[in-house]
Amino acid sequence: AQKITQTQPGMFVQEKEAVTLDCTYDTSDPSYGLFWYKQPSSGEMIFLIYQGSYDQQNATEGRYSLNFQKARKSANLVISASQLGDSAMYFCAMRETPTGGGNKLTFGTGTQLKVEL
């Protein structure tokens, strides 16, 4: 079973509008973490935001916020006031309880976001 599902292969949004990128996950582990990364066309992976399973509040980082609905097992990324520079691939990733150390992440297949004028 896929652990991280991103059902939107591509999304369009107009500049200055808000956009929500969907992410659902599957785990029976009570302790887990959810990460979002941005990959612009230049190829680098940029960390955006983190949400822990025990965090009481939704994470926010500038224009990025995470709509965390634990019962629904969803961790959607909300980008407010979209900018042309937000055009990129966005990946959701999950960390389950580390076994043997490390911080292995399982990634979704990504959502390609294009911001239009």
Residue closer to other proteins by CB (options 10, 17) is 10
Rounded to whole angstroms, the Cα distance separating 33 from 95 reads 5
Q: Which of 91, 94, 113, 115 binds other proteins (CB under 8 A)?
A: 91
**Where does residue 72 rank: exposed (0-12), middle (13-18), buried (19+ CB within 10 A)?**
exposed
Position among 20, 74, 87, 106 found at the interface with other proteins (CB under 8 A) = 106
Residues 51, 60: contact at Cβ < 8 Å? Answer: no
From residue 78, give the alpha-carbon distance in Å to each of 30, 68, 85, 93, 101.
24, 10, 15, 15, 31
Out of 100, 113, 114, 117, the only residue in the binding site for other proteins (CB under 8 A) is 100
Give the whole-angstrom CA distance, residue 106 versus residue 95. 7
- The piece of 20-28, 37-45, 62-70, 74-82 that touches other proteins (CB under 8 A) is 37-45
**Nearest distance from C-beta of residue 29 to other proteins, angstroms:** 12
Nearer to other proteins, 55 or 74 (CB): 55
Binding site for other proteins (CB under 8 A): 4, 33, 35, 43-45, 47, 50, 52, 91, 93, 95, 98, 100-110
